[in-house]
Structure 1
Amino acid sequence: MSRSFSVIIVLFFSFLIHSRAEIALYRVAETNPGSGSYVMQNSQEQLTGQAFQQDALVSYRGWQYTVYYNMERKVCIARRRLPAGQWQEVVLPYKNNRDDAHNVITMGICKKDGSIHLAYDHHNDPLHYCRSVIGLANNDSLAWTAGNFGPTTNELETGVPVPDVTYPRFIEKPDGNLLFECRYKLSGDGDSYLREYDGDTHSWSLVGRYVQGMDTNPNSCAYINRMDYDKQGRLHVSWCWRDDFGGQTNHDLCYAYSDDHGRSWKDTYGNQVALSEAIQFTDSRTSGNCLRQGIASLKIADIPYNKGYINQETQSSDSKGRVHIVNSYMDSGTDSNWSSSRSKAVLHHRFRDTDGNWQHNLIHKLGQKVNSYCRVQIILDA
């Protein structure tokens, strides 16, 4: 099935730093790349625009870029001149063949060398990755064609296949390079890894495993809200733990930050509590020193099982370095039925103030708590 694919540009105000947040949404513009977008028949969802898709829409050097699957389920990347240019679509050879909302396309731009990076179609699958020619995003004289994108590969570092990938994401570094983050292995039993792209050498290298969920007690995985840098160059990450395959075991809200691009990690109090481990996916899975459930100070909110707590919602940092996190779960009581518990979930906003203390508000609209069955995104411009 297909559906017109539109990019809707909005202003989202929720602010915010007061005892009760109110929300307002204003449509500024709507634009269409001129292509149909594939719609999954089982859910009527498009395979784009998920909260964990980092990112589906990027603006850089006067251009805006977006990624999606077209009606033939092929990977597409389109760009337009800001503010209102015509979309220029590139259709790549890779074709999705599975209706699974996990299998989105993510995009990153390395500002240092102008390369565009794409990862797509993952739910415990070998890596599907391609990169543009060097300079494509920095040099407008280069042709915007499929020929300027490389083939799909399962490697970042040469000779090192990357297996069992879910939720890949690219994070732009302050120095113009990129990080690549993903989960290895399964829901409720997986680790999280970081790799780094150097725009000077045009190559990837391993940072390592930074979250351990496998071979622990209990086995678990971290569901990342988002990973982003603040304006001071500090890298922030927040997540929930899942101890089994089902969402009913999503629990707690955790947070850490890094001042060395993910090599070492500090808790919210500024204590170094973990180190990323330079091991490959196929290396020994023994317990180590990375982020894990046994580090109690990583928890910033106690959220038990059966709260209708959706994994992977949203996080962002404002201009003062304050980290904002929005999650949805039941405000009171528990419910072991996932569907009904989600129908009772409300939006919780937390932010880490300039003194390092976490503040917690419920988001309201017209004086009422906001119910949220689906995932949300937070956008900051303050």
Structure 2
Amino acid sequence: MRRTLLFLFLFLIGVTGYPQKLVPTGKQGYSQTSVNTAIFRKNSIVTHNGIQYIAFYDENGYLTLGKRELGSTQWTFYLSQYKGNCKDAHNVISIMVDSEGFLHVAFNHHGSSLNYCRSLRPGSLILGNKEMMVGRDETEVTYPEFYRLTNGDLIFVYRSGGSGRGNLIVNRYDVKTKKWHRVQDVLIDGENERNAYWQLYVDNANTIHLSWVWRETPDVATNHDLCYARSRDGGATWEKSDGEKYRLPITAENAEYVWYIPQDSELINQTGMYADENGNPYIATYWRDRESTVPQYRLVWFDGETWHMQQVSKRKTPFTLKGGGTKRIPISRPQLVIDNERGKNNLYYIFRDEERGDKVSLASTRDLEKGIWKMRDLTDFSVGAWEPTYDTELWREEHKLHLFVQHTDQGDGEKTGLLSPQPVYILEAEK
């Protein structure tokens, strides 16, 4: 085992030119769906005060928590009392640590009652009983996501309602009072006709950046258009990219459309976004042009004055997103991170593509104006239906890219695969 890992480490350095280290946890995770590796896990791993926390469902479906000191390969694990319905890949685990060191966990949601708990004490992996947050709109929860503000408070967002008819809810946790309160009952209103599938990012100025696509029905093919909003006051008020204030809730009529994309364009939902040092938002996604059958990875961004779009990939294989439920798609949804060097943005676009052997892959550019993207693989093995999730707080504080890696399977339309439990790793891809 050690010789294999040593060979893999040397291989990764030599082939990619981007220093890699694959850190085994010594545990195996449920692998018959992508429930451990869906992109909308916020987060799968998170670092606080030099301790990195990890969460996943084990081979029996139990919520498993672990932690290690950064730089160490020694893990401490805790098998919780909670179990998830892993056959449905929507039922992900999302975690975050507040500024006092309490671990917050939300898990096992697909139009179901809120499953939320927190650690009994700072730094502990032992979870308390399930709790309510505010006590309303907590019976049809899907896509729970945590985000940490610079003062240590947390933002919690989720969809209330079903696909094609859901609304976006925003809660905030006050670390001083240790209580949640509602910020927005209905931030984006689908008006019982559609719902927004979002991606969100909180920058270092505490601005919340939110982008989304609309979906008209449970059929993924009805995804359309790319919209944007931001909040500079923790989610209380929202504005468009030009500073115009939104009259809430945001609807299909008053939303800012940053890129018009028709239905049946293989436009994916719930991807990744980031904001640079100037607070300009960047959105990573994919869709196909009307004259083509091949979806391509793309980047949509705002430079302070105008929205732009650039194609990142040169894929050759067509596919369709028609149908409902979790899809078995030959490419992952992408994540994006950015750092700044000598006044210029370096962009790193993380993805998985069947054309590249379903490996963990990365596209990067140091000059977005020229639009030249370099592609490289960060693993030499397939990760199946894996999608990228990373340690957002470690990247924010130290610009170290740590990815949750596990080989998973996924049947099309919420079906399960036959893959046996697979090892869980952290892939350290440090600049």
So what's the TM-score if we normalise by structure 1?
0.78
Unaligned runs of 5+ in 1: 1-7, 10-23, 137-143, 275-288, 335-340
1:192 aligns with 2:142: no
Matched, 1:100 2:88: yes
Classify 1:360/1:97 alpha carbon distance in 2 versus 1 (closer, same or farther; 3 Å): closer
1:190-210 Cα offsets, whole Å, 9 max, x none, are: 101000100000111111224
Measured in 2, the distance between the counterparts of 1:99 and 1:109 equals 27
Deviations 1:13-36 (A, max 9, x none): xxxxxxxxxxx7846111121111
Tell me by how many angstroms 1:134 deviates: 4.2
Of residues 258, 261, 270, the one that matches 1:300 is 258
1:83 to 67, 71, 75: 71
Superposition pairs of residues 351-362 of structure 1, within 5 angstroms = 351-353=301-303, 355-362=304-311
Distance 2:269 2:137 in 1: 28
Q: Percent identity?
A: 28
Aligned amino acid, residue 94 of structure 1: Y
Larger RCO: Structure 1 or Structure 2 (Cα < 8 Å, ≥ 6 residues apart)?
2
Q: Distance in 2 between matches of 1:120 and 1:83?
A: 28
1:221-240 equivalence runs, <5 A: 221-225=195-199, 227-240=200-213
8 Å CA contact 2:24–2:73 kept in 1: the answer is no
Whether contact under 8 Å (1:211, 1:291) holds in the other structure is yes
Return the offset for 1:115: 1.2
2:312 is matched with which residue: 363, 367, 372?
A: 363
Matched, 1:377 2:364: no
Aligned to 1:220: 194
Paired residue for 1:263?
A: 236
Amino acid of the residue matched to residue 220 of structure 1? R
Correspondence list, 1:26-65, <5 A: 26=18, 28-40=20-32, 45-65=33-53
Considering only aligned residues, what root-mean-square deviation do their CA atoms show, in Å? 2.1
Which has the larger displacement, 85-94 or 251-260?
85-94
Match of residue 123 from structure 1: 110
Between the aligned partners of 2:190 and 2:196, the Cα distance in structure 1 is 10
| Partner AA of 2:189 in structure 1 | G
| Contact map agreement 1:75 1:95 (CA 8 A) in 2 | yes
Distance in 1, matches of 2:296 and 2:120, equals 45
> Aligned equivalents of 2:184 and 2:335: distance in 1?
28
Tell whether 2:61 aligns with 1:73.
yes
Counterpart-to-counterpart distance in 2, 1:30 and 1:160: 43
Q: Distance in 1 between matches of 2:195 and 2:101?
A: 34
Secondary structure of 2:221 counterpart: helix
Answer whether contact 2:92 2:109 (CA < 8 A) is retained. yes
Question: Secondary structure at the residue paired with 1:34?
Answer: strand
Structure 1 residue 180: deviation in Å? 0.5
Report the secondary structure of 1:273's partner residue.
coil
Alpha-carbon distance, 1:318 to partner: 2.2
Q: Kindly tell me: are residues 118 and 233 of structure 1, through their superposed partners in 2, closer, same or farther at Cα, counting changes over 3 Å?
A: same
Inter-partner Cα distance in structure 2 for 1:122 and 1:71:
19
Q: Write the mapping of 1:261-300 to structure 2, written as runs, cut at 5 A.
A: 261-274=234-247, 289-296=248-255, 298-300=256-258
Structure 1 residue aligned with 2:184: 208
Q: Measure, in 2, the Cα distance between the counterparts of 1:89 and 1:293.
A: 45
Q: Distance in 2 between matches of 1:64 and 1:290?
A: 37
Q: Distance in 1 between matches of 2:31 and 2:17?
A: 26
Higher strand content, 1 or 2: 1
Residues 112-146 of structure 1: per-residue CA shift (max 9 Å, x gap): x221100001111111111013432xxxxxxx452
Compared CA separation, residues 221 and 197, structure 1 to 2 (3 A): same
Mapped partners of 1:212, 1:319: distance in 2: 27
Please report the TM-score for the alignment, with normalisation by the length of structure 2: 0.69
The 5 Å alignment of 1:319-334 reads: 319-333=277-291
Q: Which amino acid aligns with 2:185?
A: R
Unpaired runs of 5+ residues, structure 2, are 1-7, 10-15, 318-329, 341-431
Amino acid at match of 1:292: T
Q: Which residue does 1:156 correspond to in 2?
A: 133
**1:348 equivalenced with 2:298 (yes/no):** yes
Amino acid at match of 1:182: Y
1:132 aligns with 2:107: no
- Matched length: 315
Q: Distance in 2 between matches of 1:102 and 1:25?
A: 35
Contact map agreement 1:37 1:46 (CA 8 A) in 2 = no
Alpha-carbon separation, structure 2, partners of 1:259 and 1:303:
28
In structure 2, distance between residues paired with 1:181 and 1:305: 26
Q: Deviations over 1:202-231 (max 9, x none)?
A: 111111224343435xx1100012x22212
